[in-house]
Amino acid sequence: MLVGGVLLIVVAMVIAGAHSHKPTQADIDTAQARFQKQFASCMQGRVLGPGAQLPPGYTSLDQFCADEAAPNVDTALQFRDVALVIEHTSTFVVLLGVALAASLGGADWSAGTMTTLLTWEPRRIRVLLIRAIVVALVVALVTLFLQGVLLGAFSLAVALRGTSLGAPPGLVGTAVRTALRVSTVAAGFALVALSVATIGRSTVAALGVLFGYLVLFEGVIAGFRPSIQDRLLVRAGGVIVSQQPIYDQSHESFSSLGPLSSPPVLLGLTEAWVVAAAYVAVLMVVALLVFRARDVN
């Protein structure tokens, strides 16, 4: 699984590099001049309009205009996108962690060695808690390693076939913090997978239930009932990774001057951590109770 993930990253970066063309100095100068012109126009209020509020997620006009007018070279990989690359591949990384955790959690059940394990260590709660710690650490380390490979491969591809034009200071630190959040979410989802594998006593059961719930059920219910997104695990994980709250788009309000004000927050950053922790805690408790009471034969 680890080797497959590395190979997938390498192949993806080779393909991306093959379709990228390193910009000439003339391309860079043109993009820089366009940026300065668009940035100045934005700072004069010609993008948002007079009296308009900043879009959600921005704290200053300077920050918004820097993103809005960011220099762009269409034919080249751009290093300023590295944090977005880490964020946009987070679904793959988290699902890989779920598959790994389900495999680790269901291995003893599938191999029929759980009875032997409990003969060596009959304290079932201790067994499951240790397994949970090991699974969370393994998934966190594996996902961090894969994201490190992705960061290195993307940096190499940019050096060979791209540009660092427009990369803001501290970009690498932002990418690393994003990777840490992705691995934290992956470890949390891994504990959910371990709990389901313990309850179902099978890797297949864990994968089937989790992929069915996370991909199908949450996607469908979020489409029909957007207001319930603040209680969904996948949405909470997305907020944690992106650091962008989910806003309630069904409520529109206007200021006294007329412009549309920011919609109310449906799921904020703190609430997202609480929702994710609640899922992990509840499922781990259920798994502990089932594992403690059930006959393993």
Which tokens hold the place of 119?
């003969």
Here the tokens at position 261 are 């004000």
Q: Residue 280 is part of which domain span?
A: 76-293
Please report whether residue 121 resides in a domain: yes
Contact between 175 and 32 under an 8 Å Cβ cutoff? The reply is no
Residues contacting 68, CB < 8 A, separation 6+ = 38, 42, 47
| 260 found inside a domain | yes
CB atoms within 10 A of CB 55: 11
Give a yes or no: residue 9 inside a domain: no
Distance CA(168)–CA(67), nearest Å, equals 10
- 27-44 pLDDT, tens digit per residue, is 777 877 887 888 788 887
pLDDT over 60 (residue 254): no
Whether 102 is in a domain gets the answer: yes
pLDDT at 2 over 50: yes
Contact in structure between 218 and 231 (CB atoms under 8 Å): no
| Amino acid letter, 176 | V
- Could you tell me the pLDDT band of residue 256, with boundaries at 50, 70 and 90? very low
Tell me: pLDDT of 9 over 50: yes
The answer to whether 185 and 237 are in contact (CB under 8 A) is yes
Model-wide pTM > 0.75: yes
Per-residue 3-state assignment (H helix, E strand, C coil) for the chain: CHHHHHHHHHHHHHHHHHCCCCCCHHHHHHHHHHHHHHHHHHHCCCCCCCCCCCCCCCCCHHHHHHHHCCCCCCCCEEHHHHHHHHHHCHHHHHHHHHHHHHHHHHHHHHHCCHHHHHHHCCCHHHHHHHHHHHHHHHHHHHHHHHHHHHHHHHHHHHHHHEECCCCCCCHHHHHHHHHHHHHHHHHHHHHHHHHHHHHHCCHHHHHHHHHHHHHHHHHHHHHHCHHHHHHCHHHHHHHHHHCCCEECCCCCCECCCCCECCCCEEECHHHHHHHHHHHHHHHHHHHHHHHHHCCCC
The verdict on residue 24 lying in a domain is no
Q: Would you say how long the chain is, in residues?
A: 297
Contacts of 34 (CB under 8 A, 6+ apart): 71
Q: Which residues of 234-247 are buried (b: 16+ CB within 10 A; e: fewer)?
A: bbbbbbbbbeebbb
Mean pLDDT of the chain: 83
Domain assignment of residue 253, yes or no: yes
Residue 265 has what pLDDT? Answer: 84
- Of 146 and 228, which is predicted with more confidence? 146
Angstrom distance (rounded) from CA 118 to CA 121: 5
* Assigned domain for 15 exists: no
The pLDDT assigned to 75 comes to 67
pLDDT at 148 over 90: yes
CB-based contact 39:65 (threshold 8 Å): yes
Q: How many domains does the chain have?
A: 1
Looking at residue 57, its pLDDT comes to: 65
| Residue 256 included in any domain | yes
Nearest to 150, CA basis, from 188, 96, 73: 96
Q: Bigger pLDDT: 170 or 250? A: 170
**Tens of pLDDT, residues 180-222:** 999 999 999 999 999 988 888 878 877 888 878 877 777 787 7
Residue 48 in this model has a pLDDT that exceeds 80: no
